[in-house]
Amino acid sequence: MTGDGKNWIMRRVIFLLLAGIGLFPVKARAAWEEYMYSDLGIAKEFPAEPTVGSGTYDTAVAGNGSVPSAIYSVEQDNIVYRMTVADLRAPEYISRGANIYAECIFRAEQEGTVLAKMPQRVEDGVGYRVYGHLTSVDLFDNQGRKQTNCFVTKGRLFKIEAIVLAAHGLANTSQAIRFSTSLRFRIDGTIYEAP
């Protein structure tokens, strides 16, 4: 690993540690809870029980322009927490999964001034990991800050968004990073042990 790669990892670890121990101030600490969605193959933390809706995920690369999706969301203290799960299990979508993933990242970068872009890795409890991408932007027109994490696995696109509205007053709240990175794809309770 190059020196730049080691520095990037170190900066990220320090940021996450500081956020985790609460050195970044927050207005109020919510009672976070993990919610299991075994039908989707994901466990996700929310600060309160999310509302669940259905809709479509618009994509230019899916062929017909949109795919069915489920939307899980909570709005609390001027922060919108949202997980969109787009169903890509149809054969015509499976073959385009990488393009839909790249499009998710591209669209996140187009929503504002990019502050950070970094790969993500979620251990799934088996011999491989699920890789994704986190993008943080200051939204245009001073609307706030947004973190978007994109993953494609299990025939689905998982788009995790934390939108810190300007009215919140603290764009760097640790609640946003917690939401955008607190997930797991292995939900059967087993732990993978490397050979």
DSSP assignment of the chain: --HHHHHHHHHHHHHHHHHHHT-S--S-----EEEEETTTTEEEEESSPPEEEEEEEE-TTSSSSEEEEEEEEEEETTEEEEEEEEE--SHHHHTTHHHHHHHHHHHHHTTEEEEEEEEEEEE-SSSSEEEEEEEEEEEGGG-EEEEEEEEEETTEEEEEEEEEEGGGS-TT-HHHHHHHH-EES--SS------
Q: What is the overall mean pLDDT for the chain?
A: 83
Examine residue 10 and state whether it is found in any structural domain, yes or no: no
Q: What is the pLDDT of residue 105?
A: 96
Examine residue 90 and state whether it is found in any structural domain, yes or no: yes
Which CATH number covers residue 159?
3.40.1000
Examine residue 4 and state whether it is found in any structural domain, yes or no: no
pTM: 0.79
Q: Which amino acid type is present at position 85?
A: V
Examine residue 18 and state whether it is found in any structural domain, yes or no: no
Which residues of the chain register pLDDT less than 50? 14, 17-18, 21-28, 191-195
Examine residue 24 and state whether it is found in any structural domain, yes or no: no
Q: What total number of domains does the chain contain?
A: 1
Examine residue 19 and state whether it is found in any structural domain, yes or no: no
Examine residue 194 and state whether it is found in any structural domain, yes or no: no
* Domain extent for 141: 30-184
Examine residue 50 and state whether it is found in any structural domain, yes or no: yes
